[in-house]
Structure 1
Amino acid sequence: MKALVCILLLLETFVFVVQQQVDGGLNENEINQQISSEDGRQNPPQTDTLRAEASTDSQQYCNLGIPDIHAALRELTATVTEQKGNIRELTATVTEQKENIRELTTTITEQKENIRELTTTVTEQKENIRALETQLRDEMNKKNEEISNLTLSQVEELRKENKDREIAFSAGLMQSGRGYIGPFTTDITLTYKNVLTNIGNAYNPITGIFRAPLKGAYMFRISIFGHGGTPATVSIFKNEEQVVVVHDVQAQDRVTSSNGVVLILEVGDVVYVRLWSGTRIYDINQENLNSFSGFLLFPLRVQ
């Protein structure tokens, strides 16, 4: 019974000390006082004999089987102190991590705000680009319309200007029948009477002369046909100047040749074809074996 009382006393004292250590800690004197207090509380005033016996029994039992309470309390105090230090370190670490988390959260929030601003800027730029594309498209359409109108207007003006500049002719030698022309003792001007085209009426089928109504570059071409045994030779003249010769000669069978030239003519200049003396050509109406043609390539400015 006495041993049980001693054990309970020690256990209660141990629990109290642990609580005090957790709450604030006790020193060794306070622990001894607490033990004395607990001993007095557990052992109400009795006879001196009973107190002495209990003290003697408690000391005997404690000496026999219970460890030194002071050493256990010191070890427990050291452990609790170490754990409190660990808790403080852990608390500091947690506080530091919380601060890092707050800083990271702030950084993420700033980055999100930057991304939103960038997204807004990109959206505005896209809108500006679309508006610019629309503006450019409208301007291009307007320019194209102006160019189209200008082109049509220019074409119409050129048409009006060139209405009197449409000059071209083509004619065959004989209007009817067939036969030889030549030979003659002198050169003669050929009159191409079978007129196929005479735009601008610059060619005269009665005289065989083309007279330039405009200053410009003109293209002329002649072809000849004949029979062997006699040469066939003709020339294109500009005013009184021979510029192109067409010639062929064969002992027998047919003779053919052609030639052309581009001439710069002033207003009133004349172009015609002359048959050389001593030569002859042969023609059949509507076959136009001998032909004379010309047209205006482009007008030139009068200076």
Structure 2
Amino acid sequence: MKISVSFTLLLLLGSVPTSESVECQRAFPEDIYAALREITASLVQLKADMALQTTGQAQLKTEVEKLNQQQRVQQVAFSASLGGTGRATIGPFPTDTTLIYKYVPTNIGKAYNPNTGVFTAPVRGAYNFEWWVAAFGDNGHGSGAWLVKNSNQLFMAYEQQAAGFMSSSKGMTLLLEVGDIVFIRMQANTVVFDDPGHHNTFSGHLLFPM
């Protein structure tokens, strides 16, 4: 009887560590796999977050470049004169003639072309223009010029007197679309005079975009 009980106890005692060992062997790999799955999921999420961040940075860079470009476009101003290096009278001509102001001390935005005398609106907005005409008076010819938008003559600066130096000026605000052109057209049978004093001028600037 003692031998039987002892043998049974040994079996019971021996079975405990064997069972625990099996359970540990089963649980240990499962814990590793769970941890690996969590790490993999974290890496996938991190990669997605980095891709999203990269995309966001690219979009932000694009928006900044657009804003910088818009800012550059919205900086528009010019002043020009006929550019007389000596004393010269221009006209009279039998037909209206576009005046080309070749001396350009200011041309911010490069919207005025000194080769054609034409200003081209780079952005939709309200613009202000001023122009002066001047000449020596005589009984036969005045001094006058139109502000022209595209093909429409709008305002005219004009002066005529029998003798002495005469001048006239006008200013006008225009709503321009992108690509609209503005220039000064000298009236037929009138004259303008210029010298290094730059008496005949054409200026304009963007008031605000719209």
Judge same fold: TM > 0.5, yes or no: yes
Unpaired runs of 5+ residues, structure 2, are 1-63
1:200 matched to which residue of 2? 109
Is the contact made by 2:73 and 2:122 (CA closer than 8 Å) also made in structure 1? no
Q: Report matched runs for 1:122-271 at 5 Å.
A: 160=68, 161-229=70-138, 230-271=141-182
* Cα distance between partner residues in 2 of 1:237 and 1:181: 19
Distance of 1:238 and 1:186 partners within structure 2: 18
Distance 1:175 1:281 in 2: 11
The offset of 1:256, in angstroms, is 0.8
Does the CA contact (< 8 Å) of 2:149 and 2:183 recur in 1?
yes
Q: CA RMSD in A?
A: 1.7
Q: As a proportion of its length, which structure holds more strand?
A: 2
CA distance in 1 between partners of 2:92 and 2:83 (Å): 16
Per-residue Cα deviation, 1:266-302 (whole angstroms, up to 9, x for no partner):
00000000111110011003x11000000000001xx
Change (3 A) 1:158 1:260: farther
Q: Which has the larger radius of gyration?
A: 1
Task: Report the alpha carbon displacement of residue 164 of structure 1 after superposing the two structures with TM.
Answer: 2.2
Distance 2:117 2:145 in 1: 14
- Structure 1 match to 2:183: 272
Q: Report if aligned partners of 2:78, 2:203 keep a CA contact under 8 Å in 1.
A: yes
User: SS at the partner of 1:177?
Assistant: coil
Structure ranking higher in helix proportion: 1
Q: Which amino acid aligns with 2:206?
A: L
Q: In structure 2, what is the equivalent of residue 24 of structure 1?
A: none
User: Structure 1 length as normaliser, TM-score?
Assistant: 0.46
Q: Could you tell me how far 1:201 is from its partner in structure 2?
A: 0.3
| Identity in percent | 44
AA at the equivalent of 1:242: Q
Letter of the 1:288 partner, please give it: H
Q: Which has the higher contact order (CA 8 A, sep 6+)?
A: 2
> What's the TM-score, normalizing by structure 2?
0.65
